[in-house]
Structure 1
Amino acid sequence: GFKGNAYYYPWSSYNYAAKKGTQNTKLYTQSSYLNGGYVGSGKVITSGHTADYTVPNVIAYDITATNLSYSNSGLCETAQCSGNWGFHMTGYIIPPTTGNYTISLGYVDDLGILNLGAGKFLSGNCCGNFDITGDISGTNTVQSIWSSSGPTGTNQITAYLYAGVSYPVEVFHVNRGALGAITLTYKDPSGVVSSNFGGIVYHYNDLD
């Protein structure tokens, strides 16, 4: 499966007395944030520390997952809900069968970026070629931002992959607050669609 880190996405401003924040609706598309700024100080947030809720930080390192799709609907219904987070997950696609594979971001709230065979794989700058206009340059193969009518930009790619060959892949996602979701699936050469990447994506520990 995938392996990576989870990050805290900051409020634009925060009232500590009222315990309410204002969503930061701009930071997550800015190059300074996407080019590694999402890591913040690099220190993990702990329950006993005094937090500055207006700066990025780390929630957890070295998390693993085979399914990156989720929705917090029903758990996070208010505008002040602490759904401010994101993740950067990496791995290697090693197809069991040669043929066309389609990877899709069926839904994203608020930002999803996927690189396949990317030159920036495993670097701090996961998203340097992201363009909010929907244009794709360089290595950002799939990128999409939430809109009321559905995902914008390019949210699907089909690639001919060879069985047994390792293809670097990374997924970057941000929910800027309140409701959040992402739906990531792949369709194999036989036409089967799945959100479980356990039998096709591996990380270093899997390959040892």
Structure 2
Amino acid sequence: MIGPIPVLFQLLLVLLVRVSHAAQVDGGAILGCNPSQVTKGFSVSYYSLPLTKTGSCWNPVYSQDSYLHGGYETFGNGKLGSSSGVTNVSFYTGTKGFSSCGTVNALLPPNWNYDKPISLSNFSMLLTGYFLPPVTGTYSLDVAYVDDLAYINVGAGSAFNCCQVASSSSNPGPFILQTKWPDTSSSVKIDLVAGYYYPIRFFFTNRNYAGGLKFYFTSPDGVQHTTWDDYIFSATDGDRCDIKPESSTSYWTRSDSSTYTVVSTYTNTKGDLTTGQVVVEEIPTTYTVSTTTTQQWTGTETVTSTSLFTTTGTDGLATVNTL
């Protein structure tokens, strides 16, 4: 009778993957802030946009990238004035007294909290504020009417940096919504987390003749809010007030690392299920390409199978083993 035959292991050493370089990427999440003190309403700055003396009279600079990214601050007569506490973002000049190529100086409606006449026929204005969503969910930003142009940014680093409006709002990121005459309305849906203050940057221009604006939002329950009372705030600039997100680490088989931010649901340190910002770091694994084990047996056929298992080395890296 043949006794037990010992197992023979043939181990093939393979490849160790190390970090060759790091890649910093953005997962596309809209990020919020945590200002210590806030006051109600948008802050608004008003800017000069002179007519031209040739062609169609309106100045084509109003929709150029250089103008939208800070050029408005010094164009023409520059900044005309500012107001605060604005929660009703709507007005319409009507057409009475307006004519093509004519400048009309008049007052904005009282909801703009600005008591000085401006050239309503041709001007720009920048609205900045922090939107505080009451519930987590999908919100719609609705430009219900615009004549002539509206550009919108939302989120920290896109609209402006947290608690640093003055130094960063003139250089916004990609616009998430833009509407330009002859289009007069548009909307965009965004996912927001309750309790976070989300920066909003809204740029408006009336290039010539009569103008108007209606800017609303629709909450996750489908209700459209025609004013921003109790939802939009301003804060004093100072040190950055970004919300510190949670973090998560995972492994992948690429040779580079990647860090990005997402909005996700997770269990916090108190054991509560929470939705919020999460920084995800994906780092390379150390992995074994192949390990072969040969075992003799008393059967009459040869059998081959493959399985995977993971171990963690002393360096903290995961090793994916193919057996």
**TM-score, structure 2 as length reference:** 0.49
Q: Are the structure 2 counterparts of residues 12 and 180 from structure 1 closer, same or farther at C-alpha, using a change threshold of 3 Å?
A: same
Cα distance, 1:166 vs structure 2: 1.2
What is the CA deviation profile of residues 147-204 of structure 1, one whole-angstrom value per residue up to 9, with x for unaligned ones?
Answer: 0xx337xx21112222111111110000012111111110112221122112111111
What's the C-alpha RMSD, in Å, of the aligned pairs?
Answer: 2.3
Residue 199 (structure 2) aligns with: 168
Cα distance, 1:144 vs structure 2: 0.9
Amino acid at match of 1:125: S
Distance 1:172 1:113 in 2: 5
SS of the residue corresponding to residue 72 of structure 2 reads helix
Verify the 8 A CA contact 1:110 1:176 in the aligned structure 2.
Answer: yes
Verify the 8 A CA contact 1:92 1:201 in the aligned structure 2.
Answer: yes
SS of the residue corresponding to residue 178 of structure 2 reads strand
Verify the 8 A CA contact 2:43 2:82 in the aligned structure 1.
Answer: no
Verify the 8 A CA contact 2:148 2:184 in the aligned structure 1.
Answer: no
Q: Are the structure 2 counterparts of residues 24 and 74 from structure 1 closer, same or farther at C-alpha, using a change threshold of 3 Å?
A: closer
Q: Are the structure 2 counterparts of residues 163 and 103 from structure 1 closer, same or farther at C-alpha, using a change threshold of 3 Å?
A: same
Amino acid at match of 2:44: G
Distance 2:193 2:96 in 1: 41
Residue 8 (structure 1) aligns with: 48
Residue identity over aligned pairs, in percent, reads 30
Residue 125 (structure 1) aligns with: 170
Structure 1 residues 176-187: aligned runs within 5 Å: 176-187=207-218
Structure 2 residue 176 is matched with structure 1 residue 141:
yes
Q: Are the structure 2 counterparts of residues 178 and 8 from structure 1 closer, same or farther at C-alpha, using a change threshold of 3 Å?
A: same
Distance 1:191 1:3 in 2: 27
Q: Are the structure 2 counterparts of residues 40 and 108 from structure 1 closer, same or farther at C-alpha, using a change threshold of 3 Å?
A: same
Counterpart among 112, 130, 136 of residue 98 in structure 1: 136
Higher-Rg member (1/2): 2
**TM-score, structure 1 as length reference:** 0.74
Structure 1 residues 46-125: aligned runs within 5 Å: 55-79=76-100, 80-82=102-104, 83-120=121-158, 121=160, 122=165, 123-125=168-170
Alignment gaps of 5+ in structure 1: 15-20, 42-54, 128-137
What is the CA deviation profile of residues 56-103 of structure 1, one whole-angstrom value per residue up to 9, with x for unaligned ones?
Answer: 421103433111121101445322142111110111111112222111
